Amino acid sequence: MDSRSEIARAAAEAAARQSYGKLVAYLSARTRDVAAAEDALADAFAAALERWPKSGVPEKPEAWLLAVARRRRVDAVRRLLTSEAGREHLQLIADEMEASMTDEDLPDERLRLMFACAHPAIEPSVRAPLILQTILGFDAATIASAFLVSPATMGQRLVRAKARIRETGIPFRVPERTELGERLGAVLEAIYAAFAEGWSDPAGTETRRRNLATEGIWLGRLLATLMPDEPEALGLLSLMLFAEARRAARRDAAGDYVPLAEQDCALWDHPLVDEAESLLRTAAATGVIGRYQLEAAVQSAHAARRLTGRTDWVAIRELYDALLSIAGSPVVAINRAVALAEAEGAVAGLAALYVLGDDKRLNEYQPYWAARAGLLARLGQVPQASDAYDRAIGLERDPAVRRFLQGKKAALRH
């Protein structure tokens, strides 16, 4: 590949990174035909890779791509791209469009597109994948790999979701303040789900998952930029940055799992922690508290160990009390029980876990059994702890965490 081709490809990749979602959102805002907008933009990028090495990268790549995609929307581009005369005409169209259009002329519809993708009419399980594809341009195979389904299944789900947007006329709009709560929650959950899928590969051994965590943070930054006065958007970004800051400390040199309480704080990304703290303070200043701010506050309390050398478990338990009151999930309840055990003793923590025992969802939830095993072990109830560790080991997919749990079980003999 010569230098002109490399420059053109780099420019196209940069345009895709910065403008893909913006262009898809703009092209589909009126017609609500997301699939057609994606097809048009795909043709535009193909044209760019063909033309830019010969003619040079245009001054305004975004405007060039939009010009081509618009022509594709009226079914003219396919014919134009088949002849030299057509190519020249296409270049003239793009040059004219570029000359007459500034960056300010293209409204940023990405926030509206995100709300459309997270509309209540869209199945919850496909909202995060749909946002990843429409805003970031992820292909179905990459998304399928990250969410542990087959490419064919994911492709079908995405096609159905886009058809639903078009056929039911799901609006591209930011909800009014009175209806923002539920709809914003769906957008935040979708972004966090994307990040969590990447975060579940802490060693970074799966490239697609590692990138997914990065892209989740990118989406969080985008949302915080588009909604700078929304405290929960800031809280979500803070939460993700706290987690990402600890990535390097989650495994030791041998690749073994290191729990948060035993991590070397020196390995944390301190600028990311500082940014997360700043975002959390800004969100808290609004006086409106929500789930993501409280979850970020828990992580902030853990991060304080880098300054104090200790973990304030009483504060963490109190934060989980508040979180449980507004987001009463069993996951929060388990974390609260662990914090309670650290603050008040294993008996109190185990009692809080036993209260959850009737929730059938926990039968297949590894953290519940791992927490239960650890507290039983602290109380000297070795047979029960061994059984609980067996359940946790059987449910764990991460080999490093599985080895960690096996080591804990083996230590029961001593």
Using CA of residue 378, residue 351, residue 329, residue 302, what is the dihedral sign? negative
* pLDDT at res. 75: 55
Distance CA 253, CA 342 (A): 28
pLDDT at 59: 86
Report pLDDT digits (tens) over 247-303: 999 999 999 999 999 999 999 999 999 999 999 999 999 999 999 999 999 999 999
List b or e across 140-179, with b for residues whose CB sees 16 or more CB atoms inside 10 angstroms: bebbbbbbebeeeebbebbeebbebbeeeebebebeeeee
pLDDT in tens, 291-342: 999 999 999 999 999 999 999 999 999 999 999 998 878 889 999 999 999 9
Write out pLDDT tens, residues 159-183: 999 999 988 888 888 777 777 777 7
Residue indicated by tokens 């080999």? 399
pTM of the model: 0.77
pLDDT above 80 for 213: yes
**Which residues fall within 8 angstroms of residue 83, CB to CB, at 6 or more apart?**
none
- Domain 312-414: CATH superfamily is Tetratricopeptide repeat domain (1.25.40.10)
Quote the CA–CA distance of 285 and 292 in Å, as a whole number. 15
The ranges of the chain annotated as CATH 1.25.40.10 are 312-414
